[in-house]
Structure 1
Amino acid sequence: MEIPIFTVDAFTNVPFKGNPAAICLIENELQDDLYQSIAAEMNLSQTAFISKQNSMDFSSGARFGLRWFTPKCEVSLCGHATLASAAVLFYLKKNVNPVVVFETMSGELHVRQHEESLIMDFPLNKPQPQDQHEMKDLLKAVVGDLPIQDVCYCPTTWNLMIRLADTCDRPEAEALLKNESTGKIKGVIVTMKGAPNAQPGYDFYSRYFAPWYGVLEDPVCGSAHTVLAGYWSEKLNKKKMLAYQCSSRGGELELELRDDGRLNISGRAQIILQGTLKI
């Protein structure tokens, strides 16, 4: 079996920045253990598999199946690998449709081109405030002694969100996540308010850690921003925001809360590798 495979840096217009995802184009569904073996082999935070479903081919079809796997397990929502998947269809396969639709575990996700960016139609997942004292050991493991302003939890994505005080320089987290025993947390978002009056004017910063999924730090996480957008929109009273995830690679996301309760996530992508996976 030969499977076309690509590496795409998402949420950046510069190679080797943003978040790399492996994208596989498959003619027919594979066995689940094979999906997982391929993702473990690629050893990136996400490997995505695009299947034809009822579409005749990848250039003319408008609807595709999409699944995402970390090196450890399948996940129900991934932003950067969705952006990367659309980049392969639009930029390499020259898909003729203005919008492609991915059928996923999180429902239908629409992606369209707009100038040099790709715009994804994603769910909005607002987090709920939490009592800091009930998880003080976990919080200390993540951010040490840095001052915390808010702690929230999103049950839909299983993400804990920690907002640092505005006096902090940037989110930092050195000791990682050995104090979570409830089984309810699969990722931790660390965030803080940005400086929108400076250039380029980021409304907020973040970092994302998901060792439970086999991803120590995800360089730029689109699904985490479905949580962050809901939180910061209320705090900043804004529906359009510019966000920066300040991992070592770094990445930029444009966010827009829509009137129908969903979220547009916009970003760029660079395809840096293409080849054939032989099994």
Structure 2
Amino acid sequence: MQIPIFTVDAFTNRPFSGNPAAVCLLENDLDEDLHQKIATEMNLSETAFIRKLHPGDDFSKKNTNSVLTFVTLSGELKARQVGDHIVLDLPLYKTSPQVLQEVEELIKAAVGNLIVQDLRYSPDTKKLLVRLSDTYERSVLEKLQVRAQDFLSAEKTGKVKGLILTLKGNSPGNHSGHDFYSRYFAPWVGVLEDPVTGSAHAVLSSYWSEHLGKKEMLAFQCSRRGGELKISLRSDGRVDIAGKIAIVLKGNLTF
């Protein structure tokens, strides 16, 4: 059997940056065990399997009006193409103030002596949002040396499954137009640092929209690979998160 497969870097238009994912095009269903084996072979946690809903569907035809629905552990994820961007349709998650004393050891492990301007928690996603002082430049976030493995012993509450570090954009000398920056860590689920994270921006979008008074924003995730996200809050309580892609590999799986 041969299955067409692609490696795609998302939230970027440059190879070897953004968030890498494998995409398999399936003519027929595969069992779950084979899905797992293919994902292991590709060594990418983001491995998507796209199957035709109707026998007459043609993968080779471009249809920018079509919507792809992915079944994930977090529920259905819908994606569509708009121009040169892929748009993810995600729920918008609110945050509430977090008491510093409950997570003080975790914050210390993450940012050391850096000044924390705000601290929020998203109960729906179990993500802790840590906003650094507006006095810091983007480079402070990028150069921050983080040992995410230390978070496991530092987090005593048992309620945090993801840590977002974020910083307001548009600092002096910033010509990129980014409204905010972030980095994301989730060693509790096996991800020391994620290159670019759509789900984290479903939390960040809500937070920064409230604080900046904006529904349309441009964000940048400052991981080693880096990625840019266009954000648009909708009136139905959801958020569109868009990014460009770079296809870096095309081939066939043979087995």
TM-score range, shorter chain: 0.7 to 0.9
C-alpha distance in structure 1 between counterparts of 2:122 and 2:28, whole Å: 34
Q: Which residue of 1 aligns with 2:243?
A: 267
Match of 1:112 in 2: 80
The aligned counterpart of 2:162 is 187
Q: Of 158, 166, 182, which aligns to 2:126?
A: 158
Q: Is the 8 A contact 1:45 1:215 kept in 2?
A: no
Q: Map residues 15-164 of structure 1 onto 2, 5 A cutoff.
A: 15-52=15-52, 54-56=53-55, 59=58, 93-96=60-63, 98-105=65-72, 106=74, 108-164=76-132
Calculate the TM-score normalised by the size of structure 2: 0.87
Distance 2:146 2:181 in 1: 17
User: CA offset at residue 117 of structure 1?
Assistant: 1.6
CA contact (8 A) 2:103 2:156 kept: no
Q: 1:112 to 1:48 in 2, by over 3 A?
A: closer
Provide the rounded CA distance (Å) in 1 between the counterparts of 2:190 and 2:175.
35
Could you tell me whether the CA contact under 8 Å between 1:144 and 1:173 is conserved in 2? no
What TM-score, normalized by structure 1, do the two folds share? 0.80
Residue 196 of structure 2 aligns to a residue whose secondary structure is: coil
- How many Å separate the matches in 1 of 2:124 and 2:57? 31
Contact 2:137 2:171 in 1 (8 A): no
Tell me, in whole angstroms, the C-alpha distance in 1 between the residues paired with 2:215 and 2:28: 40
Deviations 1:107-158 (A, max 9, x none): 5544333222222222111222211111111111111111111222222222
Larger RCO (CA under 8 A, 6+ residues apart): 2
Structure 2 Cα separation of the partners of residues 12 and 103 of structure 1: 21
Structure 1 residue 277, shift from structure 2 partner: 2.2
Q: What is the match of residue 223 of structure 1?
A: 199
Q: Secondary structure at the match of 1:185?
A: coil
Code of the residue aligned with 2:166 in structure 1: it is: T
- Identity rate, percent: 54
Q: CA offset at residue 173 of structure 1?
A: 4.6
C-alpha change, 1:97 and 1:240, in structure 2 (3 Å) is: closer
SS in 1 for 2:94: coil
Residue of structure 1 equivalent to 2:209? 233
| Aligned counterparts of 2:57 and 2:227: Cα–Cα separation in 1 | 28
Residues in 1 aligned to 2:62 and 2:133: alpha-carbon distance in whole angstroms: 45
Q: Deviations over 1:55-114 (max 9, x none)?
A: 32653xxxxxxxxxxxxxxxxxxxxxxxxxxxxx6xxx3333512130524555443332
Residues 213 and 36 (structure 1), Cα distance of their counterparts in 2 relative to 1, 3 Å cut: farther
Counterpart Cα distance in 1 of 2:105 and 2:70: 39
3-state SS, counterpart of residue 199 of structure 1: coil
| Structure 2 portions without partners, runs of 5+ | none
Measured in 1, the distance between the counterparts of 2:221 and 2:230 equals 11
RMSD of equivalent CA atoms: 2.2
How many angstroms apart in 1 are the aligned matches of 2:42 and 2:220? 26
1:103/1:113 CA distance change after superposition, 3 Å? closer
